[in-house]
Copies of this chain bind each other. A is one copy, B any other.
Amino acid sequence: MSAVIDKPSIDTLRINGDRLYASLMELAKIGATPKGGVCRLTLTDLDKQGRDLVIKWAKEAGLSITIDKIGNGFMRRAGRNNSLPPIVTGSHIDTQPTGGKFDGNYGVLAGIEVVRTLNDNNIETEAPIEVSFWTNEEGSRFVPVMMGSGVFAKAFTLEHAYVAKDTEGKTVADELARIGYIGDQEPGDHPIGAFFETHIEQGPVLEDHNITIGVVQGVLGIRWFDCTVTGMEAHAGPTPMALRKDALQVATHIMQETVASALRHAPHGRGTVGMVHIHPNSRNVIPGEVKFSIDLRNSTDALVDQMADEVKAFAAKLSQQTGMAVKIELVSSYSAIGFHKDCIDAVARATNKLGYSNMPVVSGAGHDAVYMAKLAPAGMIFIPCKDGISHNEIEDATLEHLEAGCNVLLHAMLERAGT
């Protein structure tokens, strides 16, 4: 009897967009900036207030709370069969120094809204459902980024994370203890049946295509390099062009090649020079040394490595031609991740069932879901953000899109959890 009655009610189930939006705005008051953004750096008093508020809401929704030793939080709604690993969603609630209201926060509160919706409709799932928040995803106060999920996935050790210091010399361990968020559980000692993360796209693709849902296929592989060109510092006036060793001129060609390599490896190739330091940085002195960052990304490790090889070969040739030393050093490397077919399909099916316009996309940025993908089937749901802008106080997303993404999450999680 119940199967006949329940089936249609689950297919027509929808989250409450207004309630989700109200929660987002309420959480955004903690650390609100005059320009409409949020500054809630990880492990600060404001982060504690944010965590406390989310846990208060979770408890009001009947969830039980577990905090692990790196401060990750798991808020659990029991299922019919609690021996099954939980279907988990979540993201982070720390922000950039001049961050927005949605990055990360949306992924956590969408999970809370899913639970509230299940409660409202008295829906029991087969597997338990959990909403998680992960410590220090942003990495702006302490490195490495994605610290909580990284420790959880054993990408680095708890001890390594604990000794990380902010610019004032305060450690993660001390700050976690100070705000009362060192839990008992060993990070990673927490089963995960599948993981979903909803997130604003942080890029312009969905908006550019006028699409509501991005079905995320994977995350681009990243290679970060520091490039140093060494020329000869000299007075700009008395040094004729033919006798110069202008490090900046050589650097500009490598900066252009960084972009060219991405264009040659479309559609997912990305090449960026974001940071430049020139020495001595004086108006009338020919630069003797230029250091700059190279950020290369693509959808497979083979492609991004090929881009890196091309940039290095270009730089080596230029060095030989000009007699100036060019050093390119790897700073960080993140493998490309393909999300699990079952999770991608669950997101796509939910989106189609709900009738939202959608397209397959890749994530150019890292997310907590990347580390979860090492442990369990994982997937992500993207919604558009205004002008593709994030990590900025003017970051914005519409109620319509926030609601749509949360509905997709609801149905993808229900499919995986079973009803």
A275 at the interface (CB under 8 A from B): yes
Chain B, Cβ-Cβ closest to A364: B237
Interchain CB contact under 8 A, A274 and B270: no
State whether the Cβ of A189 lies closer than 8 Å to any Cβ in chain B: no
Indicate if the CB atoms of A270 and B388 lie closer than 8 Å: no
Is the pair A236, B272 in contact by a Cβ cutoff of 8 Å?
A: yes
Name the CB-closest residue of B to A208. Answer: B243
Known A234-B388, A255-B252; contact A266-B284, beta-carbon cutoff 8 A: no
Residues from 341 to 368 in A contacting B, C-beta threshold 8 Å: 363-366
Which B residues are in CB contact (< 8 Å) with A266? 241
A203 adjacent to B238 (CB under 8 Å): yes
CB pair A235 B281 closer than 8 Å: no
The reply on A248 being an interface residue by CB < 8 A is yes
B-chain residues with CB within 8 Å of residue A271 when the two chains form the complex? 241
Among A205-259, those with CB < 8 Å from B are 205, 208, 220, 222, 224, 233-241, 243, 246, 248-249, 252-253, 255-256, 259
For residue A23, CB closer than 8 A to chain B, the reply is no
CB atoms of A282 and B275 under 8 A apart: yes
- A263 CB, nearest partner CB in chain B, Å: 6
Among B236, B270, B276, point to the contact of A236 (Cβ < 8 A). B270
Q: Does A375 contact B (CB under 8 A)?
A: no
The B-contacting residues of A in range 271-307, CB under 8 angstroms, are 271-276, 278, 281-287, 293, 295, 297
Q: Which residues of B contact A267 (CB under 8 A)?
A: 240
B contact residues around A249 at 8 Å (CB): 255-256, 259
Over the window 357-401 of chain A, the binary record of Cβ atoms lying under 8 Å from chain B Cβ atoms (1 yes, 0 no) is 000000111100000000000000000000011111000000000
> Would A234 and B204 be within 8 Å (CB), given that A255-B249, A259-B246, A272-B246 are in contact?
yes
Q: Which residues of B contact A281 (CB under 8 A)?
A: 274-276
Contacts of A240 in B (CB 8 A): 203-205, 267-268, 270, 364
Asked if A287 meets B274 with Cβ closer than 8 Å, knowing A203-B235, A237-B297, the reply is yes
Asked if A283 and B278 sit within 8 Å, CB to CB, the answer is no
Name the residue in A234, A256, A284 with the highest tally of chain B Cβ atoms < 10 Å from its Cβ: A284
A364 touches B241 (CB 8 A): no
The answer to whether B274 and A286 touch across the interface, beta carbons within 8 angstroms, is yes
Which residue of chain B is the closest to A271 with respect to CB atoms? Answer: B241
Give the CA-CA distance A67 to B162 in the complex, in Å: 65
Residues of B within 8 A of A274 (CB): 236, 278, 281-287
Give min CB distance, A60 to chain B, whole Å.
34
Cβ-defined partner of A248 (8 Å) among B237, B238, B273, B366: B273
- Whether A194 sits at the interface, judged by CB under 8 Å, is no
* Residue with the highest number of chain B CB atoms closer than 10 Å, among A222, A263, A285, A363: A285
Contact of A278 among B202, B268, B276, B284 (CB under 8 A): B276
CB-based closest 6 A-B pairs: A203-B238, A237-B364, A237-B365, A238-B364, A236-B272, A252-B252
Known: A234-B388, A252-B255, A276-B281. 10 other contacts (CB 8 A): A203-B234, A237-B270, A238-B363, A239-B364, A248-B255, A252-B252, A253-B256, A274-B278, A274-B283, A275-B282
- What would be 11 A-B contacts, judged by CB atoms less than 8 Å apart? A204-B234, A204-B239, A222-B237, A235-B364, A235-B388, A237-B270, A237-B366, A241-B259, A243-B388, A246-B259, A274-B286
A interface, CB within 8 angstroms of B: 201-205, 208, 220, 222, 224, 233-241, 243, 246, 248-249, 252-253, 255-256, 259, 262-263, 266-276, 278, 281-287, 293, 295, 297, 363-366, 388-392
